[in-house]
Homo-oligomer: A and B are copies of this chain.
Amino acid sequence: MSVTLEDARRVIAAAEKRADEIGQPMNIAVVDAGGNLVAHVRQDGAWIGSVEISISKAWTSKAFDISTKDLGDNSQPTQQFFGIQNTNHGRVAIFAGGVPLSRDGKVVGAVGVSGGSGEQDQTVAEAGAAGF
């Protein structure tokens, strides 16, 4: 119960389609049940600083079985997880763009998107997850 390369490519294709629609080039990463990278693409013109962020978002989303947007809401100052962003050697991303991939009600992987606004990253990640 994990994510195959074929699964990851399907997720990435769905995410790329959405990125093209909104006209914002993106980094898109997919991780498996163990949080390990299965595939990554950087669309032409997408930010180079977002390579690692896309991977971190995917890892974070699987690591805590939650979207990074929701985790972020809980990681603001005074919130219950404030400080989680300093753990795990900088791999925890707490802003929109990481979305779990589920099968039979179980999180088996995640997709992470980075390259635009939080709203843009989120819609592309959700499109990717829908493609799963």
Contacts and interface: CB of A to CB of B under 8 A. Distances in A.
Contacts of A56: 87
Nearest to A72: B83
A103 to B, nearest CB: 15
Contact of A40 (B39, B59, B95): B39
A90 B93 contact: no
A4 B83 contact: no
A48 B76 contact: no
Interface in A64-105: 64-65, 72, 75-78, 80-90, 92-96
26 contacts: A4-B44, A5-B44, A8-B41, A33-B33, A34-B34, A34-B36, A35-B49, A36-B42, A36-B48, A37-B42, A37-B51, A39-B39, A40-B40, A47-B63, A48-B62, A49-B62, A49-B88, A52-B88, A75-B83, A80-B117, A80-B119, A83-B93, A83-B94, A84-B95, A86-B90, A89-B90
Given A36-B42, A37-B40, 5 more contacts: A34-B48, A35-B49, A49-B92, A86-B90, A87-B90
